Structure 1
């Protein structure tokens, strides 16, 4: 039986790095992208087959197309997981945030993951998955306290665009997961977060492995529980 293959987009640290480690431990072949070389990621090669692609910024369409060209002769991926995202000035109310900053957050968190998925959708193996890192903060129905308005809005936009993307490709032989990793102790999640990276990554990989072969678009957390839209 051939090894499963994953493409992890944004793997230099935090959850992306944790996913690479867990997938390698689970026997997957992993291709991981970074904007700049990462010693922490390079160290993961001792766990299993790891290919690192540097210089990949998901906001750079030319770099994404060049990556697709470089990987064109490799076997299809069972999982393409776009992890990369930003939380620039997340605590600033939308009415006070510079328009350029708000636009950049939307580009990176909402539009670029969909554009990446569009480029790589034909490289997803039959019964494979496209996974996009979102957040429970992107749930409109759960937004009662406010805060992190631009970040929330960017993830809600990602969720909406992902459902549209899935609908546009409803006959595809892959499924799509919008994944909430939990509140994790990363640079984005902060020190008060309730989960460590290893726990979140272990859960997300378990969800992915259980969902292989499933179709449609779902919004799940790292335990496999459905998150309200």
Structure 2
């Protein structure tokens, strides 16, 4: 990772709201140069970019579209990223798997598991030697400790994400990139609901501390927002 703070470059995928929005803002506050993506421009992200004095810029991206990913790669050609962070997930309710339609299963798996890895595959060549690729995951993807009922499809999608990231890390073991899965905890976002015990403004600064401190490490780590390993 670059040693000069002014030149650190980050790309945050999925930053229109919630954790991604706060992540992009926190990185910019620490003098990173941040490119943040959203499906639709406007709103708080665009306002933050306007007030950032050039530290934050916005790109349009529908993450599930390979064509839009390719177009983003073309627009960013020549950039060298110190951090590529993928933040995206959906939840379609607390249904037992027998009540999940094929269309719902496909939608959640494409968004939560397939698309984040497509992003890494499409954009990882923009990441500088010694840079970091990271994906927002969840302890809900933990297979060994899945002992409570509920949210079966969401849990399965995060377990699939973790497995795909493990495969990606194995296949790219010699690329020199730090690879991280981050569990942010249960936050009060649209996904986490209004009764969650944490807020993004509480959890994101420690997560950025982790991203900065882990830079240059080898192998894949699955860490929570305290920097502690999460069981697989």
For Structure 1 versus Structure 2, the TM-score category normalised by the shorter chain is over 0.9
Q: Quote the RMSD (CA, aligned, Å).
A: 1.0
Distance 2:207 2:107 in 1: 27
What is the CA-CA distance between 1:47 and the residue it aligns to? 3.2
Residue 6 (str. 1) matches residue 3 (str. 2): no
Find 1:52's aligned residue among 51, 58, 76.
Answer: 58
Matches within 5 A, 1:69-84: 69-74=74-79, 76-84=80-88
Change in 2 beyond 3 A, CA 1:157/1:22: same
Per-residue deviation, 1:191: 1.1
Gaps of 5+ in 2: none
- Contact 1:10–1:84 at 8 Å: present in 2 too? yes
The TM-score with structure 2 as length reference comes to 0.95
Q: Does 1:172 align with 2:175?
A: yes
2:136 match = 133
1:158 aligned to which of 151, 156, 161: 161
Distance in 2 of aligned mates of 1:181 and 1:38: 26
User: Paired residue for 1:63?
Assistant: 68
Q: Show the counterpart of 1:24.
A: 28
Q: CA deviation at 1:173?
A: 1.1
TM-score by length of 1: 0.96
| Structure 2 partner of 1:97 | 100
Deviation at 1:104, TM superposition (A): 1.0
Number of equivalences: 226
Structure 1 unaligned blocks of 5 or more? none
Number of the residue aligned with 2:199 = 196
